[in-house]
Each structure stands twice: as C-alpha cells, then as structure tokens.
Amino acid sequence: MQRQNAVAISCKNHSGTMEQDVEIPKYIERIKQQYGITNDYALAKKLKVSQPEANWFRRGKKTPNPSVCIRMANLLGKNPIELLIVAQKDRATPDAKNHWAVALSAVDLVMNVPERPRYLPHKVEAIGQELRQLESQMLSYHGTIAHSEATHLMKTVERSIDSMMERWQVWKRDGSLFPNYLLANQDAVKRGVTIRRVFIFDHAQLASQADLADCLQVLNDQRRAGVTVFFAFREELADTLTFQRLIAAYRAQGVTQEINAAIFDDEVLIYSRGYREQPFGLNGSPTAVPMIDRLDITWNPDHLHTLTPTPLFETRYVHPFRGDRSFLTKFQRLIAKSKTRTRVS
C-alpha cells in the first residue's frame, strides 16, 4: 500500500483535553513539510482558505469541505477520493468511524494496484465493472467468464434450483458446461440441494441417430449427477399458455434465441442471452464447441416473478426422465403425431 496506515492525531482543544482519532492534521503536516510552510498564514494561502480555518484544520478542530479536500489531494499528488473519505471518517460518530476506515482501505487497494502481474489490475477492473452494475440488480458476463461465474453461483445455493434448457447442446461431453458446471451441480446435490432441470427438444434437433445419442447422453449424465431430470418436446409445449407467457417474458428482455435459465433458492435467476460455436484447435480441423456467449444474473423481484421456469414443471407436457426406453417411446409418438398432422394438412 502506498498510503501509510493512518495514525490518530491528538490535538489539545481550548479546555486542555485531546481531540482524538482525526487524520486530516496529518495531511496538513505533509503539505507544510512538502512546501516549506512554517505558519498558518502561508498555510491558508496555499489551501485558499481563511487563516482561522487553516489553524482549525491543522489542530483537528474542523474538517475541510470537499473542495478543500480535493485541493489538498492535488497538492500532495494523491487521489481526491482518499482525502474525501478521510474527511468523512474524521467527522463521523465513533460507531461509524470503523466503516469509513474499511472504505478507506478498499480505496487504498483499488488505487494502488501494481501493474504486474497483469492479472491483478485485470481482476480489479472486473470487480469494478461488477460493482457498477449492482444498482441495476443485474450482472452480465461474456464468453468463458459466463461459464465460470455460473459455477461460482452454484456454490452459493442452499435449497433448490429449477432450470429449463432449450440449448441443451452446451451440456454435451464436448460442450462448455461439461464437466465443471455439471460437477458443481453434483456437489450441490451432495449438500442437500434439490435440482430440477427440464430439457426442451424439438424434432429437428433429434433428426439423426447421432443427435439422439447425444441427447440421451446428456439426460443420463444429468441423472448420474443427482439432478432430477425432466424433458419436453417444443412442438407440444408450445401449445401451453405457461410456455407462451414465459417465451413472451424473455422476448421482452431481448432474448431472441433459445432459453436457458435457472432460478436459485427463489432469489437469484440466471439466463443466457446468446450463444456461439467456438472453434477449438490450432492444428488440424477445429472442433466447434457450443458455448453460452452472454449470461445475465438478476435478483430483480419483477424478473424473478416473470422469468422463473418453475411453472413449467406443472404442465402436462413436461415428463420425468426415467430412462432411454420411456424417452424413445414418447419421441416416437411425437413423430407419429407429426406425420398424422402432415397427412391431414
């Protein structure tokens, strides 16, 4: 830390008692030493205040206003935020002083981050971006960070997760959520968390035997991790009012692609805003890895109410996954129903 630990300044007041726990006089002394100031007149001229005010600042009898704090910071070559917080701490009640001291320590940390290794300023910048987003009750993450942040969030859940997955390919063995996020799911289940996840497929996604095998692999991996797995077919689910309302709510949030969403303990909701195929491999033919390109995390009460996937589990077209045979039976019925509709039309 470039800023030295503050030392409480004790100054005698008119009654002979001591003024305790004020720090501004220490900065005044630094200004005097740096600029060769020996009297209050010269100090007042430097700070652009009256001579009595300069005397009060020096003795800890008065706290400078923000303009004077900024002027002092400029004279010392410091970040004005430091002096502004020190002044707030000096004028605070004894109970509040500790809180301002913590704030000052945080400023010290942020303002004095070493340039090397490059990871440190990069990390502090990322934290700053998150803090600026907090007021909107939503955090947004892009690229690979989106996947790691989802894993971090999984470590905080205590009771339950309800989840829906339309872009189920991200769970494949070569997908971006396997194995780290799935292992985080497994750890949550070990802690006693109940995870319900519904995968939503459509006929076109399962057109080939290879696609069907990938689908069953994903469902079975989920079940092995302790997740209570459900599935539905979009062609059927699209007829339900519950699904229609959910789609409309996400479209209102600007989600134009398939919906992947989960609500944690009924208090935090995550959902994907975009996806991409990331080429993997610098030698030979690259392999396309399905990835979530942007992930939003929200605790806004309105979003929790309108975007939660929980009502889907009460619809008649969401089925528990009990193994390959029952899934394939329902899938074959869907195909037969689709062919019947085609002939009728």
Closest CA to 212 of 327, 333, 338: 327
pLDDT value of position 344:
56
Give pLDDT, residue 19. Answer: 52
Beta carbons within 10 angstroms of residue 59's beta carbon: 18
* Residue whose token pair is 């600042």: 57
Burial class (CB in 10 A: 0-12, 13-18, 19+), 160: middle
Shared domain check, 283 and 200: yes
List, in order, residues 6 or more apart from 234 with CB less than 8 Å away: 166, 200, 201, 202
Inside any domain, residue 272: yes
Structural domain contains residue 64 = yes
Q: CB neighbours (10 Å) of residue 211?
A: 14
In angstroms, the CA 209 to CA 94 distance is 71
Query: Does residue 56 belong to any structural domain of this protein?
Result: yes
94 belongs to a structural domain: yes
Tell whether 99 and 248 lie within a shared domain. Answer: no
R_g (Cα) of the chain, nearest Å: 30
Q: Quick one: 59 and 171 in the same domain?
A: no
Instruction: Examine residue 76 and state whether it is found in any structural domain, yes or no.
Output: yes
- Judgement on whether residues 155 and 288 belong to the same structural domain of the protein: yes
Domain shared by 99 and 243, yes or no: no
Q: What is the CATH number of the domain that holds 90?
A: 1.10.260.40
If asked whether residues 324 and 207 sit together in one domain, one would say: yes
- Say how far apart CA 77 and CA 75 lie, in whole Å: 6
Domain annotation covers residue 54: yes
Strand 18-22 relative to strand 9-12, pairing: antiparallel
In a domain, 58, yes or no: yes
- Say which CATH number the domain at 231 has: 3.30.870.10
Q: Considering the entire predicted model, what is its pTM?
A: 0.72
- All residue ranges of the chain with pLDDT < 70 are 1-20, 341-345
pLDDT of 98 reads 87
Q: Which domain holds residue 173?
A: 134-344
- Tell me the pairing of strands 194-201 and 228-233: parallel
Domain co-membership, 20 together with 66: yes
| Same domain (yes/no): 199, 302 | yes
The pLDDT of residue 113? 78
Note whether residue 22 is domain-resident.
Answer: yes
